[in-house]
Chains A and B, each alone.
Chain A
Amino acid sequence: MAPKLVATSRQRPLISGDRLFRAIAYGAAALILLIAAVFIVALLIPALPAITKFGLGFFVSRTWDPVRVQFGALPAIYGTLVTSAIALLIAFPVGMGAALFLAEDARLRLLRGPLSFAIELLAGIPSVVIGLWAFFILTPLMRDNVDPFLKHTLGFLPFFQGSASGYGFLTAGVVLAIMVLPIMVALSRDVIRAVPLALREASLALGATNAETIWSVVLPYARVGITGAVLLSLGRALGETIAVTMVIGNRPEISASLFSTGYTLPSVIANEFTEAVGNVYLGALFYLGLVLVVITIVVNVLARLLVWRFTGSEPTAA
């Protein structure tokens, strides 16, 4: 009976309402693609004066001199990558611990609800509020406590040398870590939960402890999905503007020391667009925007592909 029903419904010719609905749905889908394309072109056109003047040299020049109309993106690209890397270095271990706890530990069930709630709460705090907190509370804390401690214990490394004002790469990285933590935890938790029960049971049946099961079965299986979670967090960190602008020091500088002040791509744009006069200056800001969009799109596409590959494929097929 059932197959026959399906067959007739499939063969039934489309009535006009269906056609209309299909047209609307296709139109909506096409519109999104169109908006994306228009967006890129709209960035590209105003960027042209800077692209023609600086070309690819834009990516290696360290100069940012509005008076002499000489611009280079290297310090901003460096600052964006360094702060995002610090954020991931801090957020990854913390986030994985929290995700494993939420997904695996059945004994403290009572704590799960509040913890999940707290993480979602953290995700909902507007970045400008986090920025305010960082500006008024975190920077003095870093200057008076964290930075001197790092200098004292790890001062032999080039990363922890020089005078620390509380503003700079490290503080911005810590702020970003706090901001990407919710994404990291929530996605990793879902990925770890998606690991088939049969695999865990098999591992436990072979005599492995809980820890051994997590280490040798669950995490390797979830690796691809976790990588995706990390990349999505990276995407968030790369584009974050206001909170970073408030603590990074806004100086186009490339320095190995994490105490040093720096600049990021979004911060330069946010700071300078209001008074950027002249086609080349404004073009340089659009050029930076284009660089940022391309980096973010690549990271996000990579991340989504990895996450989908993991949670989308049927685990039983293996």
Chain B
Amino acid sequence: MKRALIALFGGAIVLAGCGGNTAATNPSTGNANLPTPPGASLTGAGATFPQPFYAAAFFAYNKKFSQVTVNYQAVGSGAGIQQLTKKTVDFGASDVPLKSSEADAMGGSDKVVQLAGTLGTESLAYNLQGVGGGQLKLTPDTIAGIFLGMIKKWNDPALKADNSGISLPDQDIHVVHRSDGSGTTYIFSDYLSSVSSEWASKVGRGKSVSWPVGQGASGNAAVATTIKQTPGAIGYVELAYVLQTNMTQATLKNKDGNFVLPSAAGATAAAKQFAGASPSQFSIVNAPGRDSAPISGYSWLMLYKDQANKARGTAMVDLFYWLVTDGQQYATNLHYAALPGNMVSYDLAVLKSVTSGGTTLLSVSS
């Protein structure tokens, strides 16, 4: 009876979740075979970017299965990886997959598995008197020019050429970037490296980089607030923060030449373009495709392939099975993008490879 109720209830959620977005569903992941996990109290640590989504999703999972509680600490990817290396947490989370040296510290790349937990995109938010949201158009060249410090004024000819409809003021451009190391910075610098060879050679990609111009603020929220209260400011901010705080964001020219306003759907469209995406081929910036949001990226979860404790391991793979399928509905509400079908399939294959004492832990047939 109880199971039937859960199945019914869950089925309703799946339908509701799929109404607007078909990307997350995989025909083989019907809610009826959602496994009932053993009781466990799991802890994870890592990236701050997916934290609002994980918090909402894990809370919902606990309501569904009260025997499983998940404590996720958004201490930063680096700290999360270190804690997983020391085995003080059950899983880690990072916006950038493990480097080989980091995997080696965990016993080698065959000892740890990684799956995409969610997908996000970034906006360029600005503060310009008289220029409303979506009115400013930016191209890969002007974005690179601004962040390299070559375009210094808002009425620069290069900017004017793309924005004939609006009047750009004779005002200094005030670049704001993250001062703390972050996956957000990695994705943005990855984007700049892929569209500008000068950026790639001068600055490069990383969670912290040596910025040619601008000032730093710690965290998405501080960057957002600094932009909001500094006339002439521009900076890269997670889409969720832009939408939640009603910031004005630019329309971005993607690889196909279309101007798109960054959105969760745009991130999913971009991710679909990379059918072979995996932890070793994780970059999805500057994606082709008509609707692709150009500055997008996955956020990864990592756990040990061989789980010492069978019950905990089972609870964890069951949790992640739900997270990458039904749990994705909580992403769109919070302006994260739903994982595309190819990545859901990849994730499920990864979860099936997790074992304890040689036994596969995931008990779903597909």
Query: Which residues of A are interface residues toward B (Cβ below 8 A)?
Result: 63-68, 135-136, 139-140, 143, 163, 165-167, 245-246, 249-252, 261, 267, 270-278
A271 and B216 contact, CB distance less than 8 A: yes
B172, B205, B225, B229 — most chain A CB neighbours (10 Å): B229
Q: How far is the CA of A143 from the CA of B26 in the complex (A)?
A: 54
A277 and B81 contact, CB distance less than 8 A: yes
Q: Which of A67, A267, A272 contacts B210 (CB 8 A)?
A: A67
Chain B: minimal CB distance from A69 (Å): 10
Chain A: minimal CB distance from B156 (Å): 16
Chain A: minimal CB distance from B88 (Å): 16
Q: How far is the CA of A267 from the CA of B216 in the complex (A)?
A: 11
A66 and B78 contact, CB distance less than 8 A: no
Q: Does any Cβ of A come within 8 Å of B12's Cβ? A: no
Q: Does any Cβ of A come within 8 Å of B268's Cβ? A: no
Q: How far is the CA of A66 from the CA of B99 in the complex (A)?
A: 15
Q: Which of B78, B206, B229 contacts A274 (CB 8 A)?
A: B78
Q: Which residues of A contact B77 (CB under 8 A)?
A: 274-275
Q: Which residues of A contact B182 (CB under 8 A)?
A: 275
Q: Which residues of A contact B207 (CB under 8 A)?
A: 66, 275, 277
Q: Does any Cβ of A come within 8 Å of B174's Cβ? A: yes
Closest-by-CB residue of A relative to B185 is A275
Q: Does any Cβ of A come within 8 Å of B76's Cβ? A: yes
Q: Which residues of B contact A167 (CB under 8 A)?
A: 215, 226
B217 and A250 contact, CB distance less than 8 A: yes
Chain B: minimal CB distance from A36 (Å): 26
Besides the contacts A249-B215, A250-B218, A277-B99, what 19 more A-B pairs have beta carbons closer than 8 Å? A64-B210, A66-B207, A66-B209, A66-B210, A67-B205, A140-B229, A165-B215, A167-B215, A246-B218, A250-B179, A252-B210, A270-B218, A271-B181, A271-B218, A274-B77, A274-B78, A275-B77, A275-B207, A276-B208
Q: Does any Cβ of A come within 8 Å of B180's Cβ? A: yes
Query: Which residues of B are interface residues toward A (Cβ below 8 A)?
Result: 75-79, 81, 99, 101-102, 172, 174, 179-182, 203-211, 214-218, 222, 225-226, 229-230
Interface pairs A-B: 10 shortest CB-CB: A275-B181, A274-B76, A250-B216, A250-B179, A249-B215, A65-B210, A67-B204, A66-B208, A67-B206, A275-B78
Q: How far is the CA of A275 from the CA of B230 in the complex (A)?
A: 27
Given A140-B229, A271-B180, answer yes or no on A251-B78 (Cβ-Cβ < 8 Å): no
Closest-by-CB residue of A relative to B226 is A167
Chain B: minimal CB distance from A73 (Å): 15
A245 and B230 contact, CB distance less than 8 A: no
Q: Which of A67, A139, A246, A273 contacts B209 (CB 8 A)?
A: A67
Q: How far is the CA of A87 from the CA of B195 in the complex (A)?
A: 44
B179 and A277 contact, CB distance less than 8 A: no
Chain A: minimal CB distance from B219 (Å): 10
Q: How far is the CA of A273 from the CA of B203 in the complex (A)?
A: 20
Q: How far is the CA of A165 from the CA of B232 in the complex (A)?
A: 10
A139, A249, A250, A276 — most chain B CB neighbours (10 Å): A250
Q: Which residues of A contact B203 (CB under 8 A)?
A: 67
B76 and A275 contact, CB distance less than 8 A: yes
Q: Which of A139, A245, A272 contacts B208 (CB 8 A)?
A: A272
A278 and B101 contact, CB distance less than 8 A: yes
Chain B: minimal CB distance from A210 (Å): 47
A66 and B229 contact, CB distance less than 8 A: no
B182, B225, B230 — most chain A CB neighbours (10 Å): B230
Q: Which of B78, B79, B101, B222 contacts A246 (CB 8 A)?
A: B222
Q: How far is the CA of A165 from the CA of B229 in the complex (A)?
A: 10
Chain B: minimal CB distance from A314 (Å): 51
Q: Which residues of A contact B205 (CB under 8 A)?
A: 67
Q: How far is the CA of A68 from the CA of B217 in the complex (A)?
A: 22
Q: Which residues of B contact A63 (CB under 8 A)?
A: 210
Given A136-B229, A165-B174, A250-B215, answer yes or no on A275-B208 (Cβ-Cβ < 8 Å): yes
Q: How far is the CA of A64 from the CA of B206 in the complex (A)?
A: 13
Q: How far is the CA of A272 from the CA of B207 in the complex (A)?
A: 9
Given A67-B210, A139-B229, answer yes or no on A274-B181 (Cβ-Cβ < 8 Å): yes
Q: Which of B206, B216, B225 contacts A249 (CB 8 A)?
A: B216
Chain A: minimal CB distance from B239 (Å): 21
Chain A: minimal CB distance from B98 (Å): 10
A251 and B181 contact, CB distance less than 8 A: no
Chain B: minimal CB distance from A192 (Å): 40
Q: Which residues of A contact B102 (CB under 8 A)?
A: 277
Q: Which of A67, A136, A166, A252 contacts B230 (CB 8 A)?
A: A166
Q: Which residues of A contact B101 (CB under 8 A)?
A: 278
Q: Which residues of B contact A136 (CB under 8 A)?
A: 225, 229
Q: Which residues of B contact A249 (CB under 8 A)?
A: 215-216
Closest-by-CB residue of A relative to B215 is A249
B172 and A261 contact, CB distance less than 8 A: no
Q: Which of A135, A251, A276, A277 contacts B216 (CB 8 A)?
A: A251
Q: Which residues of B contact A67 (CB under 8 A)?
A: 203-206, 208-210
Pairs across A and B, CB under 8 Å, 21 listed: A66-B206, A66-B207, A66-B209, A67-B203, A135-B222, A140-B229, A165-B230, A245-B179, A249-B215, A250-B215, A251-B215, A251-B216, A252-B210, A261-B216, A271-B180, A271-B218, A272-B179, A272-B208, A273-B79, A276-B181, A277-B99
